[in-house]
Chains A and B, each alone.
Chain A
Amino acid sequence: MESVKNIRNKASMDRETLTKIFSLISTIVISVVFCAMNPSFLGTKNITNLLRDMSPVLVMACGEAYVLMLGSIDLSTGTVASCAAVMMTVLLQSVGAWAYPIVILYGVFAGTMNGVLHTKLGVPSFIATLSTQAIWQSAAYLLSGGQPLSLLPAAWPLVNWAKVNVLDCIPLLFLAALVVLLIYSFVSRYTGIGRTVKSVGSNERATWLMGQNVHGAKILAFMFSGLGAAIGGIFFAVKAKSGIPTVGVQYNMLGIAAAVLGGVQMTGGKGSIFMTLLGALLITIIQNGMNVVGVDGLWQQIIFGALLLAAIFMNSDKDHKGLIVK
């Protein structure tokens, strides 16, 4: 007779593997379904589209994944992205290519601010980022005058790279997102501070007593989240040649969902940044596919929500230990 404990261990191991392959399997299954319903889903043209749509989700998700890894949450990525998109549109017309580094610095600043509020002032991340989320939303409205801004044709040469496809089907935009993902993933796996982020999520007290820089790691995670959001905002702006002050809002939750689908646990300490790629892919496929096969727009969110629930259920901590999001 097998012991209860061991059966549990086995079950939890199976669940871990399941979680890992869940995104992959569902990606394949859903792709096959969509393809059967409309073969043009896997056509070159649609794949290009899909990868382009996926780029902002991916950069925002891998930033968010850092914060989730801590066991915290960042609710401000959406409005940081919106604000970045508006800033981008305004700055491209006034300072030209300098807009890129300036907006990137803005992302670093916005993220670091969240991190400092959370660590130094001891504000729970949920509240701190909820507050800054409101601040950046207003800033986006003020900058744009409350309306969508279009990029004037004079500045188009600076954003035309977003239209370039490598090998005729892979958008340069997606490659840029992939570079961000690889850098984030590298930092998480191969640097001390990156590893500290993960161990803080598992056991903050022990990490502190082990002599690791806990505050630094937390600030880094929030900084990366802000940076990812700002890059996402840049992508929105160059893709659409416009700055819409609400463009990023729904992407906040999509980013969280993508990270969780990629296996990052909301209680922290588990998962990998790189797997966010799969989560972002799955989310984009569902969204894109539903359009391709012509799912009624009013039904889309119901299907989307149900799929998300299933994924998060697979991923949740069923041992009922440490369920609270910090």
Chain B
Amino acid sequence: MERKLLMTIRGVTKQYPGTLALNNIDMDVYGGEVLGLIGENGAGKSTLMKIMIGAETATSGTLEMHGKPYAPHTPIEAMKLGVGMVFQEQSLIMNLTVAQNIYIGREEQYVKHALVDTRRMNEDAQKVLQGLEITNIKSGTRVNRLDFADRQMVEIAKVFDSVGASEGEGSIILLDEPTSVLSEKEIQQLFRHVRRLCTRGNAVIFVSHKLDEVMEIADRICVFKDGCKVDEMPNENLDEGILYEKMVGKTASGEYYHVARQRVPEQDVVLELRKLCKRGYFADVDLQLHKGEILGICGVVGSGKEDLCAVICGDEDPTGGEILVRGQSQRFASPSQARKAASILSVPRERRVEGIIGELSAYENICMSNFDGVRQNGVISDKLAKVQAEKYVQELSIKLPSVNQRVGRLSGGNAQKVVFARILASGCDILILDHPTRGVDVGAKTEIYSIIRDIADQGKSLIVLGDTLDETIGLSNRVAVMKDGEITKMFDAPPDGKPEQVDIVKYMM
């Protein structure tokens, strides 16, 4: 089959002061293919995508689309030319309906007598959704009523439809980490849509940290490292090891999760849940967490694992049952009480909105969960806070110009390490890690796994909701599987006998 060339990128370079984000990139995008882009954070793939959708301009180099020079100045212009992007952080407007979001900025087509014909718009939006086999979402629903995964599907539908408007010529759709919040089933659904789009002569560029997904969907894979395209290969006879090696320039050891450092937990039970319930989310959860143990919880989105963790860390209230901390029954009305009374603290899932205070500096963030640690003569001392921060910056090798750096400006991996520094500084010994490596590049991931092992070595206990099943199994001493709000199975996961993914998935579905 002859492939039609959609876009050519020649010699694109992007120079930021101090860093060369992209160095002389050549790349072709063909109609009908899925092009996988992989690379660590900061490897340049986001910058390239921003240039492709007109959010940034290249310092030098040229882009051509359908043989014509292509230099959009805004994402809207790019969309009109047939290039659209599904953002990692969602860009939907929460208090508008699904249909309004899909047609945002394009309402003119529905204007009748100066008013928007909502009914026709809803009908068309429903057709768009149906075209993507999304049947569980009504186009008239307000977006804030949908759960996270559904919102992602709306986001995808919106971009698919926006660039589809110029269909026939072949459009390009960029997917940036589209699967991070989707369940396995939804991922498969997404992949089906992606393939169908490609058969119509469109191209999809798929960016993900999850190498297995990229290998599953991509026809061709480009590897980025330090602003350069280090390799480009058809997706044949590849395995994760090869890709990993090209991405980080070293071989991926089997020691990815530092399994050898897994320790046998002590006998003392630090946290026990007895028949814990939250109506509508989970019921009758019995669980024991030992000193120095890493307990993984698996389950699909909606299995209740997130809600269980929210209840344990005091963010939400249970409707029944008991939480025993070191043998004593406790109830917390807020994370503040959980931290002070039971020494429980969480690493939240949505780092930017829940884990850090972007406006504040790194040192201020690090002391936020324990002001007592930085007091001098009873008052908070910035000097001590900075000394403390310097210590953690060294220990966790956080890359920042100074501890005065605003955390909002740090990359995902470094911001997450600041969160871990704060958790360590808090002195809490029961830690809930909700997706601790979400949006973190491969290099920083192993470092975070190592930090997690260190924490367990200190005799602290952790509950981990992994970003992937593999991660949860790799890290944990035991793995609890949740389904429909109940714990369906508990697996032991000693270093020499990790349970198989397939066995666990059986209890999840």
Residues of A that sit less than 8 Å from B by CB: 1-6, 186, 189-192, 195, 198-199, 202-203, 205-215, 269-270
In this complex, how many residues of chain B approach chain A with their Cβ under 8 Å: the count is 37
If A3-B16, A211-B340 touch, whether A203 touches B353 (CB-CB below 8 Å) is: yes
- Whether A1 lies near B59 (C-beta < 8 A) is yes
- Whether B380 lies near A210 (C-beta < 8 A) is no
Closest to B343 in A: A211
B residues within 8 A CB of A3? 14-17, 56
Closest to B350 in A: A205
- Whether A190 lies near B380 (C-beta < 8 A) is yes
- Whether A270 lies near B339 (C-beta < 8 A) is no
- Whether A206 lies near B355 (C-beta < 8 A) is yes
Interface presence of B356 (CB below 8 A)? yes
- Whether B359 lies near A270 (C-beta < 8 A) is yes
- The contact of B422 among A4, A186, A210, A270, by CB within 8 Å, is A210
Q: Mark B324-367, 1 if CB is under 8 A from A, else 0.
A: 00000000001110111000011010000111111110001000
Give Cα distance in the complex from A228 to B504, angstroms. Answer: 60
- The contact of B355 among A189, A191, A198, A209, by CB within 8 Å, is A209
- The contact of B346 among A192, A209, A215, by CB within 8 Å, is A209
Nearest 9 Cβ contacts at the A-B interface: A211-B339, A190-B379, A192-B371, A202-B359, A3-B16, A203-B357, A211-B335, A213-B336, A202-B357
- Whether B336 lies near A211 (C-beta < 8 A) is yes
If A211-B335, A211-B339, A214-B334 touch, whether A206 touches B15 (CB-CB below 8 Å) is: no
> Shortest CB–CB separation between residue A100 and chain B, in angstroms?
28
- Whether A206 lies near B354 (C-beta < 8 A) is yes
- The contact of B368 among A186, A190, A212, A269, by CB within 8 Å, is A212
> Shortest CB–CB separation between residue B23 and chain A, in angstroms?
15
- Whether A191 lies near B358 (C-beta < 8 A) is no
- Whether A208 lies near B335 (C-beta < 8 A) is yes
Give Cα distance in the complex from A191 to B348, angstroms. Answer: 25
- The contact of A205 among B17, B57, B340, B353, by CB within 8 Å, is B353
Give Cα distance in the complex from A207 to B368, angstroms. Answer: 8
Give Cα distance in the complex from A209 to B121, angstroms. Answer: 40
Q: Mark B24-41, 1 if CB is under 8 A from A, else 0.
A: 000000000000000000
> Shortest CB–CB separation between residue B13 and chain A, in angstroms?
10
User: Can you sample 15 A-B contacts with CB below 8 Å?
Assistant: A3-B15, A4-B57, A192-B371, A195-B371, A195-B380, A198-B360, A203-B356, A203-B359, A207-B368, A208-B334, A210-B368, A211-B335, A212-B336, A214-B334, A215-B334
> Shortest CB–CB separation between residue B488 and chain A, in angstroms?
28
Q: Mark B356-399, 1 if CB is under 8 A from A, else 0.
A: 11111000100011011000000110000000000000000000
B residues within 8 A CB of A1? 15, 59
Closest to B344 in A: A211
B residues within 8 A CB of A213? 334, 336
Residues of B that sit less than 8 Å from A by CB: 14-17, 56-57, 59, 313-315, 334-336, 338-340, 345-346, 348, 353-360, 364, 368-369, 371-372, 379-380, 422, 426, 428
Give Cα distance in the complex from A212 to B335, angstroms. Answer: 7
> Shortest CB–CB separation between residue A20 and chain B, in angstroms?
16
B residues within 8 A CB of A269? 357, 359
> Shortest CB–CB separation between residue B112 and chain A, in angstroms?
31
Told that A206-B348, A211-B428 touch, could you supply 20 new A-B pairs with CB distance under 8 A?
A: A1-B59, A2-B17, A3-B15, A4-B57, A186-B379, A190-B379, A191-B379, A192-B371, A203-B356, A203-B358, A203-B359, A206-B353, A206-B356, A207-B368, A209-B346, A210-B368, A210-B369, A211-B335, A211-B336, A213-B336
Give Cα distance in the complex from A208 to B348, angstroms. Answer: 11
B residues within 8 A CB of A195? 364, 368, 371, 380
- Whether B380 lies near A192 (C-beta < 8 A) is yes
Give Cα distance in the complex from A207 to B355, angstroms. Answer: 8
Give Cα distance in the complex from A269 to B359, angstroms. Answer: 8
> Shortest CB–CB separation between residue B31 and chain A, in angstroms?
31
B residues within 8 A CB of A4? 56-57
Give Cα distance in the complex from A269 to B313, angstroms. Answer: 25
Give Cα distance in the complex from A1 to B60, angstroms. Answer: 10
Give Cα distance in the complex from A214 to B339, angstroms. Answer: 13
> Shortest CB–CB separation between residue B386 and chain A, in angstroms?
14
- The contact of B380 among A191, A203, A206, A209, by CB within 8 Å, is A191
- Whether A208 lies near B17 (C-beta < 8 A) is no
Give Cα distance in the complex from A1 to B17, angstroms. Answer: 8
Give Cα distance in the complex from A3 to B14, angstroms. Answer: 9
> Shortest CB–CB separation between residue B55 and chain A, in angstroms?
9
A residues within 8 A CB of B359? 202-203, 269-270
Closest to B345 in A: A211
A residues within 8 A CB of B335? 208-211
> Shortest CB–CB separation between residue A217 and chain B, in angstroms?
10
B residues within 8 A CB of A6? 16-17
Closest to B15 in A: A1
Give Cα distance in the complex from A276 to B414, angstroms. Answer: 35
> Shortest CB–CB separation between residue A115 and chain B, in angstroms?
16
- Whether B354 lies near A209 (C-beta < 8 A) is yes
B residues within 8 A CB of A5? 16
Closest to A216 in B: B336
> Shortest CB–CB separation between residue A15 and chain B, in angstroms?
15
Give Cα distance in the complex from A241 to B345, angstroms. Answer: 55
Give Cα distance in the complex from A1 to B354, angstroms. Answer: 35
Give Cα distance in the complex from A146 to B406, angstroms. Answer: 53
A residues within 8 A CB of B426? 211
If A6-B16, A191-B379, A192-B380 touch, whether A211 touches B369 (CB-CB below 8 Å) is: yes
- Whether A207 lies near B345 (C-beta < 8 A) is no
> Shortest CB–CB separation between residue B147 and chain A, in angstroms?
18
> Shortest CB–CB separation between residue B373 and chain A, in angstroms?
11
A residues within 8 A CB of B357? 199, 202-203, 206-207, 269
- Whether B354 lies near A211 (C-beta < 8 A) is no
B residues within 8 A CB of A186? 379
B residues within 8 A CB of A270? 359
> Shortest CB–CB separation between residue B320 and chain A, in angstroms?
24
Give Cα distance in the complex from A203 to B428, angstroms. Answer: 22
> Shortest CB–CB separation between residue B435 and chain A, in angstroms?
14
If A4-B56, A192-B380 touch, whether A202 touches B17 (CB-CB below 8 Å) is: no
B residues within 8 A CB of A206? 348, 353-357
> Shortest CB–CB separation between residue B49 and chain A, in angstroms?
15
A residues within 8 A CB of B354? 205-206, 209
> Shortest CB–CB separation between residue A6 and chain B, in angstroms?
6
- Whether A209 lies near B348 (C-beta < 8 A) is yes
- Whether A208 lies near B315 (C-beta < 8 A) is yes
Closest to A199 in B: B357
